[in-house]
Amino acid sequence: MEDRIITYGGQAVIEGVLMRGQKALAIAMRAPDGHIEVHTEKLSGIYQSGLAKIPFLRGVILLWDALGLGMGALTRSANLQTGEDEKLEGPALYLTIGFSLVFGIGLFFLAPYGAAKLIQWLAGSMPVIGAAGAMESAQPVINVWVAAAIEGVVRLMLIIGYMWAIGKMPEIARVFQYHGAEHKTINAFEAGAELTPENVKKFPLEHPRCGTSFLLTLVILSILAFSLLHPLAWFWQVLGRILLIPVLAGIAVEYIRWTANHLNSPFVRAIVRPNLALQGLTTREPDLQILEVAIRSFNEMRKAEEQ
């Protein structure tokens, strides 16, 4: 069971699902004409290297590689739906990926810091009424630790609000159905069930190794780590937030792996409840046709693993 937990993961794409093992990945996508198109490829040797066995470091390396694989799969699935004339490739593709990364870091890591500093400045600029009723000079009513707490709350609200808002878009809601199908398929496999759409549909939408769980863990870690930066000059605060992202990501990956491998513990089941609850924002109940795509992706990935 532990090998299964470590080995298999996946991701929803546009009208499809990516499934990844230790040696290969498969992407199954429903084409506009209704047939299922499949792409398989071998993973880079880093997945079998010694680096993939070093705690914390492996999280950063494999997460970066998985990000590249995921973006490639999203691009492939989008191009299948749009056709040859509207394919996203070359400089336009790299520009889009770069913009997405910068936007994500800016929105979820730097914007909350800016909001906290703005609130701190506004509160500190308010005049204070003295005991005799006279106006006194402004006093710093929000210290650095309160500002750190404000930043954390803003970041958490941004993450949850963003997931909730995009889930209201019909196109994204459908991607979330494929996300649910990915979870159900892996849950069914790990339970030893036969992978048919009817069987897989019975399994839960939530999975302890979900990327949504990783994001929530990363946010909680950032609240704790970034609070230590607030006493520093603003330049080091901003730079520190950027440089700490891969470090915190590595810790988050190890936490997710550890909890996924210790779900028999009542304590672990209790601490992962917020992670599983948040997945309600990024998963939707899939129909049998969507489950068929997820199962096809999983089966093709396993075949590619054996070659």
pLDDT digits (tens, 9 = 90+) for 197-212: 999 999 999 998 888 8
Is 294 a residue whose pLDDT tops 90? yes
Of 166, 71, 70, 156, residue with least CA distance to 108? 156
So what's the pLDDT on residue 91?
A: 67
Mean pLDDT across 220-234? 85
- pLDDT at res. 83: 67
283: its two tokens = 């998963």
pLDDT greater than 60 at residue 5 = no
pLDDT given for residue 1 in this prediction: 36
CA dihedral 162, 76, 174, 269 (to 10 degrees): -60
- Which percentage of the chain shows pLDDT scores above 70? 87
Tokens for 180, please give them: 């649910």
The 10 Å Cβ neighbour count of residue 175 is 23
Q: What is the pLDDT of residue 84?
A: 59
Mean pLDDT of 73-88: 78
Residues contacting 243, CB < 8 A, separation 6+: none
pLDDT of residue 265: 94
Encode pLDDT of 19-49 as tens digits: 998 889 999 999 999 999 999 999 877 777 7
Neighbours of 218 (CB within 10 A): 22
Task: Give the highest mean pLDDT range of 74-88, 199-213, 228-242.
Answer: 199-213
The reported pLDDT for the residue numbered 55 is: 80
Q: Computed from CA positions of residues 267, 269, 270, 272, in that sequence, does the dihedral angle turn out positive or negative?
A: positive
